[in-house]
A and B are shown apart, each in its own frame.
Chain A
Amino acid sequence: MSGYVGNFTAKIRKKARYVDPTVCNACGECVKVCPVTRPDGFQMGLSSRKAIYIPFPQAVPCSYVLNMDDCLGNNPIACGKCSDVCEKEAINYDDADEIIVREIGAVVVAIGLDVYDPTEMDEYGYTRFDNVITSMEFERLICAGGPTAGHFVRPRDRMRPKRIGFIQCVGSRNPKIGRPYCSNICCMNTIKDCLLLADHYPDVENTVFYQDIRASGKSFEDMYQRSKEAGSRYIRGLPGDVEEDAETGNLTVTVENTTTGKLERHEFDMLVLSVGVQPPKGMGKIAGMLTLSRTSDGFFMESHPKLKPVDAPTRGVYFAGFCESPKDIKDSVCQAGAAASRAGALLNAGQIQIEAITSRIDEQACSACGLCAKVCPYGAIVWSKGEPAVVVEAACAGCGACGATCLFGAITMRHFTDEQLMAQVRAILADKPQDKVFCFACNWCSYAGGDMAGISRIQYPASNRVVRTMCSARVSEEMVIEAFRCGAPVVLVSGCHYADCHYINANRQTVKRMQRLWDQLEKAGIRPERLQLEWISAAEGQKFAKVMRQMEELRKTVTLEEIEYARDALKPKPKKRAKNGRKKSAAVAT
């Protein structure tokens, strides 16, 4: 994937099927002769398939596919049987992957989910006891198209279980195993399972162990109550332990019933682990390709949780379904519709305007070092060794990380130029700087956090003076130094929390710069504490006010002598900024 909004190029690997779907009529003769047997992934390994197979009867395209990892090959001594019986001659052992290139205007990311594998939660015995299954395996066992043709049996002895226990929140809402989030769908899925079982087998006894039942969707509560009326028991408390009776294969769970506060033991014929969901494998790869960010849970981060819930921070990319957050089918369909509509609006417009806060590189001044290309979160700067860097304006989102990084003053951030920001620093600190708390705040989070403090009328000392940049990464070392040079007693750089960074991860550059600045200040004999860093979100008016109070306290500890010393210590630099730049300019000077 490359390019930018409205103008992406996608390189797609079309995997070899080894069976031509336009010719295959799904007669199934090939399957009869194939000698290779493998676990059937679609049936959760509860039945087997051949090396040549159709994923499931309703598959689209409705065609067989040959798994080359399983196939013995077409060497006549080895095999080649399927090819012999295929009247349509649809099988081609020499089929190869194909790379397709497409020009794309918009992208909808709908990469779904992975189901949690409960192997690590050994207390439930999933790997040790045959009759402990997952909710996904349950789906296949009760499905008419499943391995048992819908006759619900337990794996160990193929007997129909009568007493069935469900354990909720397996791999969800469990910070101990690093899965603090609610998977959203498992409560309702279990309620559905209970209703299905009660419908198929009136003598069944369902027991559900839960922390909370979350049945907040339309008509969900009604289903919950119906399942209770149908005889399902709900016990508040998650089992701590599961034991198997080696003879019968029955399972006994020990659970603290948190409603009664008593320890209970329950025996079941079968146990279903209501497994949670997780971001799919390969998500990081997609995130990297499209410069998307992820929340602490690993799901994709939307542009704004309330106002832009289907837009990715990268323009022209939209989310649908589970990959944005756990949601059920209805919500996935809703979001897919919204994503389609957002994509449609972009495509219908035919053209789009890019806000003029973008970076420009002066070819003459550029030293072709490539630093700017490295820090650009959007890959909007094209650079190859020895060539001056070039900004792809449409891909540039305007964070300014490049401008603050350039050692040669070759980058102009339009509408937030060095000169403009420096002029603000000097103007604010022109008079009585010792009384002022000098702050840089990013537009999207910390400046907005200041607005939130205002809207909420949260008072804080009036000593603070804020200069707004689009991103904290726009604040160059030189700007901070200039503030101290102008007599600022303290300086605060503030930006978005890691997960909220409006420019994917540009604020990581802020952190690096702060480390260098603290080192630099210390080296110059200036208390590094006079420079502070805070992440303040748009919602954190309280934190904004608190930080301003702390900064004011800190300001009071800075003496006039210290301020004068810093002015002096930072003044006589021969030429701006860090190592390379200084060396080069020094060489020029001599």
Chain B
Amino acid sequence: MVANKTNGEVRVGVFVCDCGLNIAGAVDCGAVTEYAEALPDVICAVRNKYTCADPGQNEIKDAIRQHKLNRVVVASCTPRQHEPTFRQCVREAGLNPYLMEMANLREHCSWVHPGEWEAATQKAKDLVSSAVARARLLQPQEELTVPVTTSTLVIGGGVAGIEAALEIADAGHQVVLVEKEPSIGGIMAQLDKTYPTMDCSI
């Protein structure tokens, strides 16, 4: 399972994003980049204006090729936003997407600590250090693909169940509709007229 293109040697690249002034306005990104460069197994540390934009992504791809990077740390925003972006980016450069790690310098740092230059920068360094420590131990992962049985179970034969069953059947799939009563229809069948159309329920 270990990526061994570089004889087991771990080669980390760190990309520190200014995010315009979103991060650089509250965190000393230059100092963070410098700090990152000195961390164990870090081969290169690059500061970008916007890492997620095409030029930023190209810098990552170029660095992967040029420095034979096999781990990437992007120190920018929350992974909940751009993890898919950067996973795709490293994949395009030939790296397994699970070898990319992010440090959240924006939502968890610069945006919540404005005007605290020293403390925010120290925190950013720690977050990068944590991400690098984790990245050094990341392993490539393969996503499992499983087949899907093309049949649907619908539990409940009221209006919602009947409607869902019909739609799925109309789409050409087999449906098993299960109802606990002797007849389908549910509560709606017990109603007389229904709003807003004032027509019969059955």
Contacts and interface: CB of A to CB of B under 8 A. Distances in A.
A447 B108 CA distance: 9
A113 B116 contact: no
A458 B108 CA distance: 10
Contact of A7 (B147, B154, B195): B147
B17 to A, nearest CB: 14
A425 to B, nearest CB: 8
Q: Identify whether the interface residues of B are mostly helix, strand, loop, or mixed.
A: mixed
A466 to B, nearest CB: 6
Interface stretch (B45-53, B59-67, B173-181): B173-181
A281 B194 CA distance: 24
Contact of B120 (A60, A320, A333, A462): A462
A415 B138 contact: yes
Given A108-B164, A321-B161, A450-B108, A146 B133 contact: no
Interface residue tally on A, bucketed by range: 35 or more
B149 to A, nearest CB: 4
Contacts of A467: 130
A42 B173 CA distance: 32
Nearest to A416: B134
A427 B183 CA distance: 64
Contacts of A55: 181-183, 185
Given A65-B182, A337-B167, A350-B147, A217 B98 contact: no
Contacts of B146: 4-7, 351-352, 354, 394
A303 to B, nearest CB: 15
Interface stretch (A186-194, A261-269, A361-369): A186-194
Interface residues of B, number: 80
A335 B153 CA distance: 16
A578 interface: no
Interface in A312-353: 318, 320-323, 328-329, 332-333, 335-337, 339-341, 343-344, 346-353
Contacts of A177: none
B106 interface: yes
Interface in B153-202: 153-156, 158-165, 167-168, 171, 173, 176, 178, 180-196, 198, 202
Contact of B148 (A322, A351, A420): A351
Contacts of B120: 462
A450 B167 CA distance: 41
A105 B98 contact: no
A280 to B, nearest CB: 9
A460 B193 CA distance: 57
Nearest to B158: A112
B68 interface: no
A430 interface: yes
Given A447-B80, A451-B108, A12 B176 contact: yes
A291 to B, nearest CB: 14
A87 B187 CA distance: 33
A218 interface: yes
Contacts of A195: 198
B164 A110 contact: yes
Interface in A107-162: 107-113, 115, 136, 139-140, 142-144, 146
B127 interface: yes
B137 A451 contact: no
A188 B195 contact: yes
Interface in A490-505: none
Contact of B155 (A6, A108, A356, A453): A108
A386 interface: no
Contact of A112 (B107, B156, B202): B156
Contacts of A102: 151, 153, 176
A257 interface: no
A286 interface: yes
A5 B145 CA distance: 11
A323 B196 contact: no
Most buried by B among A17, A108, A424: A108
A321 B160 contact: yes
A201 interface: no
Nearest to A460: B112
Nearest to A141: B192
Contact of A454 (B108, B134, B191): B108
A462 B168 contact: no
A110 B151 CA distance: 16
A476 interface: no
Contact of A346 (B130, B148, B180, B196): B148
A104 interface: yes
Contacts of A349: 148
Interface of B: 78-81, 98, 104, 106-109, 111-114, 116, 119-120, 122-123, 126-127, 129-134, 136-139, 141-156, 158-165, 167-168, 171, 173, 176, 178, 180-196, 198, 202
27 contacts: A6-B149, A15-B180, A56-B189, A102-B151, A104-B149, A105-B149, A105-B151, A107-B153, A109-B155, A112-B156, A196-B193, A320-B156, A321-B159, A322-B160, A323-B156, A340-B163, A340-B167, A347-B173, A356-B142, A358-B144, A414-B141, A417-B139, A424-B131, A427-B130, A448-B80, A451-B108, A457-B114
Given A44-B190, A188-B195, A415-B141, 10 more contacts: A5-B146, A7-B149, A108-B168, A223-B196, A329-B188, A329-B194, A415-B98, A423-B133, A431-B126, A464-B123
Interface of A: 4-8, 10, 12, 15, 17, 42, 44, 55-56, 58-61, 65, 102-113, 115, 136, 139-140, 142-144, 146, 188-189, 191-192, 195-196, 217-220, 223, 282, 286, 318, 320-323, 328-329, 332-333, 335-337, 339-341, 343-344, 346-358, 393-394, 414-415, 417, 419-421, 423-424, 426-428, 430-431, 436, 443, 447-448, 450-451, 453-455, 457-460, 462-468, 545
